[in-house]
Structure 1
Amino acid sequence: MSGLAPGAVRLELERILSSGDFDASPRNRHFLRYVVEETLAGRADRIKAYAIATTVFGRDADFDPQLDSIVRIEAGRLRRALERFYLMAGPGEGIRITIPRGSYVATFDAEPQPAASAPVPTGERSGPAILVRPFDEEGDQSAYPNFTRGFARQIIVGLTRYTELFVFGADTALAGNAAGGTLDADYLLTGGTSLSADRCHVDVLLTEARTGRCVWGESFTHRLDPAEIIEVRDKVASAVVRHLAQPYGALYALKAREVEGKASSSLTAYDCVIRFYQYWRTFDRAMFGELRRDLERVTQREPGFADAFACLSLLLTDGFRYGYASANERDDCLARALVLARRAVDLAPLSSRCHHALGMAHWFMGDVASALPAFEVGLDLNPNDTDIMAELGMRCAILADWDRAVPLLEASYERNPAQPSGYRVGLAIWHLWHGRLAQALSEARRVDAPGVVYGHVTVAVAAIGLGLAEEAASALDALDRVDPSYMSRAAGDLTRRHVHPRLVQIVMDGLAKAAAVRTLPAIAPG
């Protein structure tokens, strides 16, 4: 007890039990009181799974801890509830009650009190902060004693590759409280792992730190080959990270609901990044002007947030490539996009999104030799970023480098089904190249970017090749609504975009056939 008075410990116990920040069930509150009182009474040696099960949880005298894991499971929950309490409520009068892993005995430690409580410094941040707690171990993992610890570590590593996030491990929270403050976490990531002879199973739960509300949960199962235990661990950790942090993942969905309807003047830089990805899903022209103004404003207000600079760069590149910017400023848009992308990389050289922006600016300035390495660097920095994976695949498809393009595009959709559909144009032109018109049309029909010409172009070319004149004509009508003059300059546009000459010819031949059929006079029945 480190010389602490029992009365002081009991005051701390009552502070915990009466606090709204202590999120524990009634029986786990009883559990905590039991282990604290037994320890204070000098009976720590009697605090065993059997005694807890029969005294606290009402199990019968024939309880066998080897067959019934209730005590171990509830102890894990109680530890997490205590961690959250101290994260949210702070150290109180300087006594901390804990139940160390591997034991059910309560420990009482005195903590030095600061002159004034202050949050742990996290620097200027706009994105969310996530605390990753140690994962619970289910079942007998003695054959792989470091699996769960390593799994949590890999999740932390994966999350830190999304540089807009602030990621902390459990040690950070303890260090922060020892320094006299509380960690300003927005979300807590918890979970457990279980291993069997041939399966690895993981449950993951995301909760709001301030309310304790569960906002996302998922289970992951992977076949387990003991000879590939590390590879399996890392694959499952990567899957968790992708589901949580990638664009259109769980964190995006949570934030998108908050941003919906928010006044532009109150948007943070991270809010604008979320808005950008709402736009990016379909390249909605109606969002372009307002989103540009918002990003311009927040990059001035939060000049250290690299991802906002990257998104503004990508948006200005779209202003050039899709004609969203006015005609007299399109070239300036591209020059600014390159400057902004370089600024973003300077601010966050490890951000895949920043290298994505740099690659796009180089590409549309005609510097393919600089664009491809930028995409490759970004993907190396964050292999879980399916956006840059698909972008690199798309650029390789345009160059007809199918050996690189197709695996990247297919993997991006396999790993992130919510990936923007525009990248399916890359798969459609792959099928066109090889004469697989039905597959090309299937991919082209899935493109949901009505304000961009290229989905309509691929539908028209594939449909007319299959003899579907009505669908081809409808695609040309949609194309004309987007850009009435596009047909007259399509060859030059595709060439400027570095489309392989054979692909340009395939597309131009298909458009010519579709246009010819559309202009034929209708034949009256009979």
Structure 2
Amino acid sequence: MQKKSHPEATEIRDAVERIVGSADFTGTERAAGFLRYIVEETLEGRADRIKAFTVAVDVFGRDETFDARNDPAVRIEAARLRRALERYYLTSGSNDPVVIGIPKGGYVPTFSFGHDNAPADPPVANGNFAGFSSRYVIGGMAAAVLLLIATALVYVFAPSRTTSDDVFGPKILVLPFADLGDSDTSVLYAAAITDELIGALAHFKEISVFGGQTSRAADGLDMDKLRSKLGVDYVLEGSARTAGSSVRVGARLIDAETQAVLWSANYDTGLTAGNLFEIPASTADAVAAAVAQPRGVVLNAEAINRLERPPDNLDAYLCSLSYYLYRSNPSPQAHLDVRECLERTVDRFPNYATAWALLAHLRIDELRFGYNQRPNAVERAYDAAQRAVAIDTGNGRAFQALATIALFSRKPAEAREYAERALELNPNDSDLLGQTGQVFGLSGEKARGRKLIEKALALDPDRSGFYLGVLAIICYMQEDYACARSAIAKSDARQAPVYHGVAAVIYAQTGEEKKAREAADELMQQSPRFIPNLWAELSNRSIPRADQRHIADGFRKIGIEVPPEPESHPAQTQPAG
């Protein structure tokens, strides 16, 4: 009997329902609706109608003003759906009879056979491992181990840095982790952690990391050769050992020039059937966060090394480092210096995506903090962020900036979409977690925002000022006054006028009238326009009206006259700080 060359419509519809009903399909309800829509349109012969605009209107409920050129909502959701499908076909869907893929560059799905009724050479859908997985019958631990390797291979062949940024920042080489155990599992974990770590580090745009093939080729070379042949600045090496029901991973970072050990840590995890696949990824995330985030080991070492050299006012990478120093201790003068430095940098290096993204943050800070204001802050910030995205669509800093820009443009839904995209690109960056936590927390999703801020604090406890200030206002809006008081008391963000406003309403609700009045007096001294424009100030931060009333109530408790509540959201004004 001749084999079918294409799945039938009923088989494809069954495949869709099997996918969206699976616990291994990590897509949201929106992603499930997206998948059903594009499949049904294709089966009904309307594939030519599947465009970003029609998806936005028919699936996401957007209106006729949706502009796909300036709003990436559909592209973001399509990327999530592709990843959810890839995970599904690597797990419970590995033997599905029908494989559904969504090729990049469009939204029209493809349909092919998987294991059952497959042609001699079944195609692989959308670059995932469905074809690989379905052609082998594997049992027990062996299946799990091969799946682990398949997942790791994604990082071996993925580009580890973009062409726009690869001349900037320190270069890190991850050497293959050593196997110190006495079982096959230990060998596999060492290999998987190496590749997961390369992938995790590649999310941080302030560094460059060599790919998996280079890592393996460099194994055994001494440090001098790594520096001379590859230009390596730092080497990350480690080991994995399994013993009984536990896994120990050790890692250390070495300065390739001095050969000094800058950092080391051990990670011990209990080994269970449930966390078999999670250990390499979670351990790699922890190591990458410690090493590569803005206040991590590498950038701290770079700041010391570079600041000891004679400064060059066009040193592009020094500008990036200066941005994080400013972010830790913001002030009008630091803002002006770093903004000017970054503007010179992008003028000289127009394809430096990260510099454009950081410049977008500096420009929106003109609105957020009232620093060094120039006309059209939102438009100029948005232009810089969009330039960063155009150069590097995987730049988390750019989407982080777009989220903050949308928040301060009174577009909370759009802000959250950008924030989700930023988190997908790098969920272990404390600076990104802190700012996206602010986006969610202020715009109404308080529990989500609080969780992100708490994770940022866990990754970077030294940067307590900003994180704790945001945590304080989120807890206040949740009416968790004990949390709010604890956070504001620990925060050292007193250089920001809004800090004193947050402190005033918190102390008002906890009955500490003297502290509340002192904080309110400081707010009015630093920013005399804030309370007279209270409703606009809060609306400019996308804070829902019910939470605005709660904040106004805090000021009233200590006798401060608040302007009458407008019937609708007041017109946007330049925030006072």
> TM-score if structure 1 supplies the norm length?
0.69
2:176 matches 1:134? yes
Whether the 8 Å CA contact 2:457–2:467 is kept in 1: the answer is no
State the shift of 1:144 in Å.
Answer: 4.1
CA distance in 2, matches of 1:194, 1:228: 16
Tell me by how many angstroms 1:261 deviates: 6.2
CA spacing shift, 1:355–1:135, aligned 2, 3 Å: same
Q: Percent identity?
A: 27
| Correspondence for 2:289 among 212, 217, 242 | 242
Give the direction of change, closer, same or farther, for the CA distance of 1:478–1:224 in structure 2 (3 Å limit).
Answer: farther
User: Structure 2 regions of 5+ residues with no counterpart?
Assistant: 1-162, 562-577
The code of the aligned residue for 1:365 comes to S
User: For residues 93-128 of structure 1, what are the alpha-carbon distances to aligned partners after superposition, in whole Å with 9 as ceiling and x for unaligned?
Assistant: xxxxxxxxxxxxxxxxxxxxxxxxxxxx99851111
Equivalent positions of 1:93-104 (< 5 A) are: none
In 2, Cα distance between the equivalents of 1:124 and 1:247? 18
Q: Which amino acid aligns with 2:418?
A: A
Q: Find the counterpart in structure 2 of residue 440 from structure 1.
A: 484
SS in 1 for 2:277: helix
Q: Secondary structure at the match of 2:259?
A: coil
Matched, 1:387 2:431: yes
SS in 2 for 1:206: strand
Superposed, 1:88-237 pairs within 5 Å as 125-169=167-211, 171-172=213-214, 182-237=229-284
1:114-513 pair list within 5 angstroms: 125-169=167-211, 171-172=213-214, 182-260=229-307, 265-266=312-313, 268-326=315-373, 329=374, 331-419=375-463, 421-513=465-557
1:200 CA displacement: 2.0
**Counterpart-to-counterpart distance in 2, 1:282 and 1:123:** 26
> Aligned pair in 2 of structure 1 residues 263, 310: CA closer, same or farther (>3 Å)?
farther
Identify if the C-alpha distance between structure 1 residues 253 and 440 changes in structure 2 by more than 3 Å, giving closer, same or farther. same
Instruction: State the Cα distance separating 1:227 from its structure 2 match.
Output: 4.3
Asked if structure 1 preserves the Cα contact closer than 8 Å seen for 2:177 and 2:194, the reply is yes
- Structure 1 CA distance for aligned equivalents of residues 378 and 196 of structure 2: 38
Deviation at 1:153, TM superposition (A): 0.5
SS at match of 2:419: helix
Name stretches of at least 5 consecutive residues in structure 1 with no aligned partner: 1-120, 518-526
The 1:442/1:415 distance shift into structure 2, 3 A limit, reads same
Q: For the residues of structure 2 that align with 1:381 and 1:320, how far apart are their CA atoms?
A: 26
Q: How big is the shift at 1:274? A: 1.3
Structure 2 CA distance, aligned partners of 1:426 and 1:284?
18
Cα contact 2:174–2:215 (8 A) shared by 1 = no
Structure 1 pair 198–336 and aligned structure 2 pair: CA distance change class (3 A)? same
Q: Give the secondary structure class of the aligned counterpart of 1:235.
A: helix
* Count of residues in Structure 1 that have an aligned counterpart in Structure 2: 392
Q: Is contact 2:186-2:241 (8 Å) kept? A: no
**Residues of 1 paired with 2:471 and 2:260: CA distance?**
41
- Alpha-carbon contact 1:155-1:240 (below 8 Å) kept: yes
Q: CA deviation at 1:416?
A: 3.1
How big is each residue's C-alpha offset from its partner over 1:364-412, in whole Å with a ceiling of 9 and x where there is no partner?
Answer: 2333333221111111112222322332222222122234223222222
Q: Distance in 1 between matches of 2:450 and 2:548?
A: 19
In 2, the alpha carbon distance for the partners of 1:262 and 1:514 equals 52
Give the match's secondary structure for 1:192: strand
**Matched residues in 2 for 1:217 and 1:436: separation?**
38
Whether contact under 8 Å (1:193, 1:202) holds in the other structure is yes
Name the CA shift for 1:285/1:459 in 2 (closer, same or farther; >3 Å). Answer: same
1:463–1:471: 8 Å Cα contact kept in structure 2?
yes
Q: What's the secondary structure of 2:275's corresponding residue?
A: helix
Cα 1:261/1:504, change in 2 over 3 Å: farther
Residues 447 and 515 (structure 1), Cα distance of their counterparts in 2 relative to 1, 3 Å cut: farther
Counterpart AA for 2:412? V
Q: Which moved more, 1:135-144 or 1:150-159?
A: 135-144
